[in-house]
A and B are shown apart, each in its own frame.
Chain A
Amino acid sequence: MRALLTQAAQMALVLLLAPLLTGYVRTLKARLQRRRGPSMLQPWRDLLRLARKEAVVAGNASWLFRSTPYLVFATTWVAAALVPTFATGLMYSWSADLIAVIALLGSARFLLALAGMDVGTAFGGIGSSREVMIATLAEPAMLLIAFTLALVAGSTQLSTVAAFMSSPEVGLRVSLGMALVALLIVGIAENARIPVDNPATHLELTMVHEAMVLEYSGRHLAMIEFAASMKLLLYVSLVACLFLPWGLAQASASPGALAVGAATWLAKLAAAGFLLALFETVIAKMRVFRVPEFLGAALMLGLLATLLMFVSRSL
């Protein structure tokens, strides 16, 4: 019963914090650019406003177009429930591992790409093809990161990996550093952040994710935006639990320990949000055709990390 409650609390917290994290990054970015910017709560207000509005659907849209937002939201939420946020070993975390998380996010992306092409407008097609181009490089890189972690920790189970990472057994490994950099690059690309895609633009030459969801409105758009901010939270939590696993509580720990875990998680989110805003402020957007090179670096780092694992202490 208590396990179920903790898991439910985690899922509710993820839901509550995801738009807040997005708003926090936006506010920080505005401040760094010497603008006032909207308040941190603005994404929540936008979501509520969109949910009240009428959903306009194109005449030739199929059932796929209408069901995709809910499916995307559901898969992303399940994936987020599998990632240890403030505590490891939650109830659901034993049912699936990192590869399942990658697969869930991959299927969400697949559905979105299909829905982008469903109505048959030019923008949806261009957005889908670009998104899939990014995915063909980001997903193998992500899998290689998972393999590296599995070779280090002997498991792809996120709770086990996090426990291993916080033990002194980890030592100093060059592969882990490479995997961290690769994961950061993949996270930036997957979340459509600045060098790869600009989440705040509606400029036809550069947009990727926005072009794909251009046809959506009302509650459908709300679901998709919600899923996008949840994905950002998921990636930040993933980096935090894999590479900075300090302060993670056990699911069976006392409520006090869980509160400490939640507080450190919030601190990590705040730090990561600040770094993301800073990074996005100092870097310029890339041309779309340079993105494969950027992601190719992540793929290369992942592959190199896996290769170098074979020449480590196991000799």
Chain B
Amino acid sequence: MSGTLALDVAHVLAGGLVLVSFMMLYQDRLSALLNIFALHALVLAASVGWQAEVQGAPHLFLTAGIAFLFKAVAIPLALHRMIRRLGVHREVETVIGIGPTMLAGMMLVALSIAVMLQVTEGADPLAREDLAFALAVVLLGMLMMVTRRNAVSQVVGFMSLENGLVLAATGAKGMPLVVEISVAFSILIAFIVIGIFLFRIRERFDTVDVHALDRHRGEQP
């Protein structure tokens, strides 16, 4: 019974992560998007923490702690400050059709489930499930980066993609701690670099809408 309970809780948390990814796709306000992103990281931390408990792997607790501190607290706070300084915190993003995006997201989830269940046949159920959901989260993060025009929401898409990678890594009986920490720090570095880029883009084009870049290159009217 405890085995099925462990699997059930892991299922709920990983499924919750996919659901929160969809909630991010649904948002069109930047500050709400950042709050949902913090929730995403929180669910991820809970999921990793539960994996640590189930697998008896204490170093995963550290991963959960890193996910919570950096991604659920530090990065959302920094992004909140950033959008306030960029002056876009009240902006309503013109997303091209929430409906089609949602449908595309559904197809991506179906695809990742179909692919992962085929590929990982015979593996541990917990790992299979985590891998399927993790691929879905990664693909949804990519979808978010593709469909959004605002550079800040693209950053959020990138960060949520990384959350999916962490989920995959913990499901596969954990990854070495060194790798884990270096990934976390590289994400932080990437965040800082992207942040500097955002301000640069704004300085030059007076907007963080990436379509301005296309226009600058003379690609679109």
Would B15 and A175 count as touching, CB distance under 8 A? yes
Would B117 and A310 count as touching, CB distance under 8 A? yes
Q: Which of B18-26, B141-149, B156-164, B212-220 contacts A (4 or more CB under 8 A)?
A: B18-26
**Which residues of chain B in 22-60 are interfacial with respect to chain A, using CB atoms and an 8 Å cutoff?**
22, 26
A to B contact number (C-beta, < 8 Å):
64
A148 to chain B, nearest CB (A): 12
Asked whether A96 is an interface residue with its Cβ less than 8 Å from the other chain, the reply is no
Listed in ascending order, the chain B residues whose CB lies under 8 Å from chain A are: 4-5, 7-9, 11-12, 15-16, 18-19, 22, 26, 98-99, 102, 106, 109-110, 113, 117, 125, 128-129, 132-133
Would A311 and B132 count as touching, CB distance under 8 A? yes
Would A172 and B99 count as touching, CB distance under 8 A? no
**Closest residue of A by beta carbon distance from B109:** A307
Instruction: Given A174-B15, A303-B106, verify A296-B7 contact (CB < 8 Å).
Output: no
- In the bound assembly, the distance between CA atoms of A171 and B10 in angstroms comes to 12
Would B109 and A172 count as touching, CB distance under 8 A? no
- In the bound assembly, the distance between CA atoms of A304 and B103 in angstroms comes to 11
**Which residues of chain A in 263-300 are interfacial with respect to chain B, using CB atoms and an 8 Å cutoff?**
292-293, 296-297, 300
Q: How many A residues have CB within 8 A of the partner chain?
A: 22
Instruction: Given A296-B102, A315-B125, verify A178-B19 contact (CB < 8 Å).
Output: yes
Would A308 and B98 count as touching, CB distance under 8 A? no
Would B106 and A171 count as touching, CB distance under 8 A? no
Would A173 and B129 count as touching, CB distance under 8 A? no
- In the bound assembly, the distance between CA atoms of A301 and B4 in angstroms comes to 24
**Closest residue of A by beta carbon distance from B98:** A293
- With a cutoff of 8 Å between Cβ atoms, the chain A residues found around residue B129 in the complex are 311-312, 315
Write the A99-117 contact mask toward B (1 if CB under 8 angstroms, else 0): 0000000000000000000
Would B5 and A307 count as touching, CB distance under 8 A? no
- In the bound assembly, the distance between CA atoms of A25 and B169 in angstroms comes to 50
Which residue, of A177, A293, A308, A312, has the highest number of chain B Cβ atoms within 10 A?
A: A308
Write the A175-201 contact mask toward B (1 if CB under 8 angstroms, else 0): 101100000000000000000000000
- In the bound assembly, the distance between CA atoms of A312 and B117 in angstroms comes to 11
Q: SS class of chain A's interface: helix, strand, loop or mixed?
A: helix
- In the bound assembly, the distance between CA atoms of A311 and B106 in angstroms comes to 15
**Closest residue of B by beta carbon distance from A314:** B125
- In the bound assembly, the distance between CA atoms of A262 and B121 in angstroms comes to 48
- Contacts A/B (CB < 8 Å), 8 sampled: A171-B4, A174-B15, A175-B15, A308-B18, A311-B113, A313-B4, A313-B11, A315-B125
**Which residues of chain A in 17-54 are interfacial with respect to chain B, using CB atoms and an 8 Å cutoff?**
none
A151 to chain B, nearest CB (A): 14
B45 to chain A, nearest CB (A): 17
- With a cutoff of 8 Å between Cβ atoms, the chain A residues found around residue B125 in the complex are 313, 315
- With a cutoff of 8 Å between Cβ atoms, the chain A residues found around residue B16 in the complex are 174
Residue in B98, B128, B132 whose beta carbon sits within 8 Å of that of A296 in the complex: B98
Instruction: Given A293-B98, A313-B4, A315-B125, verify A174-B19 contact (CB < 8 Å).
Output: yes
A143 to chain B, nearest CB (A): 15
**Closest residue of B by beta carbon distance from A171:** B8
- In the bound assembly, the distance between CA atoms of A186 and B143 in angstroms comes to 27
- With a cutoff of 8 Å between Cβ atoms, the chain B residues found around residue A175 in the complex are 15
**Closest residue of A by beta carbon distance from B99:** A296
Would A313 and B8 count as touching, CB distance under 8 A? yes
- With a cutoff of 8 Å between Cβ atoms, the chain A residues found around residue B7 in the complex are 313
Instruction: Given A297-B26, A300-B22, verify A315-B15 contact (CB < 8 Å).
Output: no
